[in-house]
Every structure is written in C-alpha cells, then in structure tokens.
Structure 1
Amino acid sequence: MSAGAELAGRTALVTGAAPGIGAAVARTLAGRGARVLATDLDPAGPEVTGDRGRITARTLDVTDPAAVDRLVEEAEHALGGLDIAVNVAGVLKPPRPVTELGDADWAATFAVNTDGVFHVSRAAARRMAARGRGSIVTVASNAAGVPRAGMAAYAASKAAAVMFTKCLGLEPGRVAHGVRCNTVSPGSTRTAIQRALWAAGGAPDEEAAARQIIAGDLSGHRTGIPLGRLAEPQDIAEAVAFLVSDRARHITLHDLYVDGGATLRA
C-alpha cells in the first residue's frame, strides 16, 4: 500500500490541533487516508487545512477528564472507534528560574502537558485494548531528557508524559491487546509557542533568533543544532505518521527524538 493510503479506514484523535505541530499532524494523517477528529481548546475550532472531508474539528479541554471521556465515547459511536490517538496539546509558560516560578504556572503546565496526556491516553487505551489494536503517540520534547535553565516546569511535565506513555505501553501493549505506545520528542520548531518565546526574550527578529538557537548558547547550557536548521511542524508530523503506521508495527515504548541532533541524544 502506498504511503498516501496507508491509514485508510482508520480513525485518529489529535489534540492541540490548532496551528503548529498539531495541525500538521492532523493534515498528514488525513492525507494518508485516516478520518481525523482534530481537537483544540480554541472555541473557534482548530485551524486545520487539507481534506475537510476527512477532518472534523472539535473543541476540547484536555484538562477536563469528563469532557475527554465524552468526546472519545462520541468518536466510538460516530466514527467507528479510535485506532490512533496523538497527544499534541501542550503549553509553555515564559521561562523563569525555579526560585521565581509561581504555583499557578507550575500547576497549569502539568494540567495540560501531563494530566491532559493521562486523560486522553486512558480514555483511548480502554477502547483500544478491548478491540486488540491501536496506536497512541505523545508529542513530548527533547527538554524531557536534557536539563534546561528556566524551563523546569515544562521539562518536568514532558519527562512525566514520556514515562507515563512508556508505562502505558506495558499494560495494553501485551500481545493479547496489541496497543502500541510511543513518544516523539521535538527540539526547537517553528511554531507559535517558539515565536512567543523569542518575543519574550527580546529577540530582534525571527531569523536572528533562529540563528542563535542553531548556534547554541553555552552560558545557558544549551547546545546548538548540528543539522543547522530549526524543525518545521511537518518534520514532527512525519515522525508521528510513521509511528502510527504498520511500518512501525514492531515499535513500542520508543522515544523518537526529532531535534536535528541538538541534544546529542544525551
């Protein structure tokens, strides 16, 4: 089967599907034949483009477990059951030292980046395990594996999401259940969140900020990007599309770094 139709007949739930990585994932899965339920907190609905016949946009707050359960149950009846769940919804508060980090920012970060992954994955895994098939992918961050100054809450929340997804993969992933659970960990990617970070840091312009990230900053304990470029959302979407496909049928509990070598895979 060609890559363009490899997900034909499958249904996918994508969270955080407003512009950025989530939108790229929704478009890519739809382009490979999947019916996609693209969700985001934005009340106007995710701004996804592509084959609208395969993409249904819905509002979802992943921090609300009851709302997540209702949406997944609805998908079970309206779309014939979920084959794929992709956790992309995430937040990144302005970087600040731990000594200046407020309780509200810490709690809000974990509510989306960790609790949200738990709510969606739990609801999806319950249905997938009963059918004996399915794939869950969590989009985390390379910050989950390498310490970052000023990003303790974000890095810790993503590290928790990675380990949760791996543990989940041991439970419904047994041969009798056939559910695979993996994570994709991007590095710096051209998204609205990245641009907001640049603006908060007083970057003179986007390209200058990108060059600084590519070069690295030893004073901030940050290496550069060996490949010499920032990731585009599509780079992350391609990794997700591979992991949910049959090409990755023997891959589970894996954390795929898509960061141009920035972490030196430390």
Structure 2
Amino acid sequence: MSDRFTDRVAVITGGASGIGLAVATQIAAEGGRVALWDLNAGNLETARSKSGATYTHTVDVTDPAGVAEAHAATVERMGQVDILVTSAGIIGPMRPVSELPYEIWRHISAVNLDGTFLCCQAVVPAMRDRGYGRIATVASIAGKEGVPGGAAYGASKAGVISLTKTLSRELAPAGVIVNTVTPGPTETPMANDVPPEAVAMMKRLVPLGRFAAAQEIADVICFMVSESCSFTTGSVFDASGGRADY
C-alpha cells in the first residue's frame, strides 16, 4: 500500500500534533500531498518537516472567513482537495453540567462541531462537482456514551457523528464518501489536559487496558480516506479498545 495516496491531496486539520500529525505522516509516506491546517503556528513548521507535508496554513477553524481563506490558499497552492480529515479539537475543562460556564460550552462546541462543519462546507462543492472525495471526521467515544464532567466535549462529538451521517447521505449520489471515527482515550497532547484521576478512570473503562497510540487511530483513518473505502459511507468506525461495540 506504499502508493495508496499517489496524486491525492489531503487537508488535515489539527495537523500539527496528535492524531492529525500521525495521519499526515502516513498519507505523505504513501504518496499523497498533504496540507496541514492548525491554529498553533509555532508547531506547524516542525510538523511539516516531521510529516513530509507539502504545505501548512495557520487557521482558526471556528472562523468562517479564516477557513475559506485557508481553503482558497490550499487550492491555489495544491490544485484541489481530494481528502479532508477534521482532527482539530479540544477537550476543555472537566466540569459537571451544573458548574459549566456557558462560554466554555460554546468554545468547545465551536472548535469541535462548528469547526468540523465549516471545514466540510469548504471542501464539499468541488468534491461533489468532481465526483470524488473522502472525508473523515474525528468524533470520540464520548459522543456515543457521554462522560461525567465532559458534557460539552461529548455533546459536540455526538454532533460530529450526526453531521457526518447527514453529509454522507447528501454526498453519496456524487460518489463522495464520508465517515467518522470514534477513538477512545489516545496518547496525544490533548490528553495532557485531562486530570490524572480522569485518566485512571478512562483506562479502567477500556477492555484492552490502555490508551491508543495516535498511529493506531491514524491507521483506521487512512483506510477511511483511501480508495479502498468505496462502499462504506455514513459509518462510525469504533476505535475504543473494546469500550464500545456499536
């Protein structure tokens, strides 16, 4: 599968670290040209050299104008976008619903759900017109089950699952494949924001007894955005170490 992504252009949001960086590295290693979109400008150049990406763009995925500009600049530089992976996301503070400030709820929702919507909206018209595209959204096991103290995160990821299913139905007639992945706890910089007691609790809930490596999630996503994923759309790819099987 060393040439699986030859002649394909992939945009990876949140591509400067974690799952996004692992996906970018794999796609580039298999012949694809990769654009990394991330808010962290300081990490982007390092990520570019690590991953073999072609292009980087600093973007806030909650900003409609910024996403539109990033898309236009990417197309100008790379010609088109064949693949989108929306891995930009945040966990945010762990608080019970009764103690969660509304502004924190809105910020987490804006990054995780609104950002996914805006990035998908940017790439969809050209994919539909060309009759080809692969979109992989990154949700979470929390979007299936809910997590005490993580209402905003879980609700936003549940929204990503629903958005993905809707988009897959809208785009199926055009041959554009849209799926989502629901990782369990994964060893990424984002996991550093979780309190130690919550980390211990999450490990206890995983039958395999550990966090996933980012590469393990990237392997699933790379299938989702490959040409081999040709008759599976609107699906939720579980990657939770056995925590959920639905």
Q: Does the pair score TM above 0.5?
A: yes
Q: Is it true that 1:5 corresponds to 2:37 in the alignment? A: no
Counterpart for residue 185 of structure 2 = 188
Counterpart for residue 18 of structure 1 = 16
Number of residue equivalences: 244
Counterpart for residue 256 of structure 1 = 237
Return the letter of the residue paired with 2:133: G
Q: How far is the alpha carbon of 1:32 from its aligned partner?
A: 1.2
Measured in 2, the distance between the counterparts of 1:195 and 1:64 equals 25
3-state SS of the aligned residue for 2:95? coil
Cα distance per residue 1:133-154 (max 9 Å; x no partner): 0001101101101021111110
Gaps of 5+ in 2: none
Q: 1:36 aligns with which of 14, 18, 34?
A: 34
Return the letter of the residue paired with 1:97: P
Gaps of 5+ in 1: 204-208, 217-223
Contact 1:45 1:58 in 2 (8 A): no
3-state SS of the aligned residue for 2:191? helix
Return the letter of the residue paired with 1:33: G
Q: Is it true that 1:117 corresponds to 2:111 in the alignment? A: no
TM-score of the pair, normalised by structure 2? 0.94
Measured in 2, the distance between the counterparts of 1:129 and 1:244 equals 15
Q: Is it true that 1:129 corresponds to 2:150 in the alignment? A: no
Cα distance per residue 1:44-90 (max 9 Å; x no partner): 242424453x4322211100111111221222232121000000000
Counterpart for residue 206 of structure 1 = none
3-state SS of the aligned residue for 2:155? helix
Cα distance per residue 1:185-217 (max 9 Å; x no partner): 100011112122035x4x8xxxxx55x533x2x
Contact 2:146 2:154 in 1 (8 A): yes
Counterpart for residue 243 of structure 1 = 224
Counterpart for residue 90 of structure 1 = 89
3-state SS of the aligned residue for 2:10? strand
3-state SS of the aligned residue for 1:250? coil
Measured in 1, the distance between the counterparts of 2:27 and 2:59 equals 19
Contact 2:91 2:193 in 1 (8 A): no
Return the letter of the residue paired with 2:158: A
Q: How far is the alpha carbon of 1:13 from its aligned partner?
A: 0.4
TM-score of the pair, normalised by structure 1? 0.87
Matches within 5 A, 1:35-114: 35-46=33-44, 47-48=46-47, 49-50=49-50, 52=52, 54-114=53-113
Q: How far is the alpha carbon of 1:255 from its aligned partner?
A: 0.6
Report runs of 4+ in structure 1 exceeding 6 Å deviation: none
Measured in 2, the distance between the counterparts of 1:72 and 1:18 equals 17
Q: How far is the alpha carbon of 1:226 from its aligned partner?
A: 1.4
Return the letter of the residue paired with 1:193: M
Over the aligned positions, Cα root-mean-square deviation in angstroms equals 1.5
Measured in 2, the distance between the counterparts of 1:76 and 1:17 equals 17
Measured in 1, the distance between the counterparts of 2:202 and 2:134 equals 33
Q: How far is the alpha carbon of 1:113 from its aligned partner?
A: 0.3
- Give 1 or 2 for the bigger CA radius of gyration: 1
3-state SS of the aligned residue for 1:94? coil
Counterpart for residue 152 of structure 1 = 151
Return the letter of the residue paired with 2:98: T
Alpha carbons of 1:29 and 1:94: their partners in 2 closer, same or farther (altered >3 Å)?
A: same
Return the letter of the residue paired with 1:213: M
Contact 2:21 2:51 in 1 (8 A): no
